[in-house]
Structure 1
Amino acid sequence: MTPADLSLHQYTLRMNRVLEHIDHHLDQPLELADLAQIAHFTPRHFHRLFNAWVGEPLGDYLRRRRLAHAAYQLASEPQASILEVALTAGFSSGEAFSRAFKQHYSVTPSSWRSSEPKRWHRRLSDVRERRLRELPNPDQTHIPGFDDPDAFIHLKEPLMNVTLKHLPPVPVACLRYTGPYGTGIGLFWRETAARWMIDNQLFNRVRYGIGHDDPSIIPAHQCRYDACIEVPAELISAAPATLSLLPGGLYAVAPYAGKGPDIADAWLELCRDWLPRSGLQLDARPAFERYPVYAPYDAQTGELECEICIPVKAL
């Protein structure tokens, strides 16, 4: 490994530690000096490096991440007041939050809260209609409830086989991909993650995929995804991967079999249809796709199998 490679690996590890810290502390003050200390840089050097590394100034990044978190919470937690959402997102007042939210999303928080669930329902309707059109019986291609795109969709039989499982914590090494979800993620797994697994003799391991952003509200080039590989607990260094721990606990687990890009529909059904009717709510732990050691994958067709796991807790 050349000195230049070592430097790049070290910068990657340091910056990933900062980004992980930010994600876990969006509701708290995040000062430049404190973040610079986490990265082991001077504040002046860190400020310039962050801009070059992430592609936007630190202040803009923090604001965007906080607003994206708030946008999701507004739509998925109707019991939380706008002030509670604002404080959770790190804003000092509801007024400051409302101004920032409208400037970023061009609508008020209350309008967003009203319109986003309807958009989710319309997407669910589109998914179901498309699936029903593929059925061999033409009489099964229409359900009256689909006439109202704003209505909740209920089918006689559940579309997903969901089970609740207590999963143990898992030490993992994570490699970060930033860019559009879809084919780029498959390419990242094959060209970057698989190579790292082979180099570190960790190829026959359980793998996890963590999509951190909602591509419907985050620009495609800023969406973040972690390709994670289960590693021995005693592993000390995994450069350029970052060592982390997937927390254990209660998860709703649904099997998925299909093409890679279509997995977004399964996520939608699990999070926007099954979860609201389950009597549970989403927990702050990361959701992920779990790929067993010998999970089938066809590089030519894009067909794959995995488990979709979302962390849940009681209401």
Structure 2
Amino acid sequence: MKAAVRNYQARMQRVLDHIDRNLDGDLDLETLSGVAAFSRYHFHRQFSATFGLSLHRYVQLARMRRASHQLAHCQHASVTDIAMAAGYDAPDAFARAFRQRFGQSPSAFRKAPDWAPWLAAFEPLDNARSQLMQTTFSDNDVSIRTVAPTRVAMFEHRGDPATIGATVQRFIAWRKAAGLSPRTNPTFNIWYSERRPADPADYRMDLCVGLADDQSIDPGDDAVRIGEIPGGRCAVLRVTGDTHNLEPAALFLYREWLPASGAEMRDFPIYCQRFFLDDPDQRPAADLFLPLI
């Protein structure tokens, strides 16, 4: 039964990965049902049942999210080119849809993005990616590593987790300005609170960039500070594919692996390192670290 569930999950994940990599391509029902190797007569219902929104709506939102990123971060790309890549036949149709969804015209968003309505508009897309059936982990998926201390630049997020997207955008912009490429400086997240605290104002996490011991930077933002992820023994669980929501993996470590292992936790929060697997598909992955004594 578990093998069948994993196979079904993998086929659905293939579809999401294909959409992400081929937003300029033909993403119709025939094509995507073929990617999943499911019957085209049932696939639209399977997709809606799994992700909570239609295939067409998912593709539309994915293309619009890319378009908004291009507007904010790719100044060399024209609005017309961005509109065409998002599947619109004319810039005015794109502008109407963009304004309806975000409350700003594409040109106004490019100059000064308002991230609050942006976050609300893409909540269905984020929820859909989180709805993929929960991955089943086992004790064999957990390894024990002794890691070295890692010097990092920490970009703080404090407050409602619903606004984390805006912080991520600021983090990306700051990282680019500082010349800290993910290829040379690894990415970490540190969580100090649960994913959905009773009071959203209590949510706290750091987005981090690894630094060499002799590497100096100009923080350039009040949210940035220099710190360290301490070394020591850690239980490590790898998650591949959809790493948007790592809570199921964290719950497995706390609720199942830890009691059975007899291990004791160190006084440092759970954290992860994000990267891409070195394979032809370049799938995203995250190693989740639970610090141990």
Q: TM (normalized to structure 1)?
A: 0.46
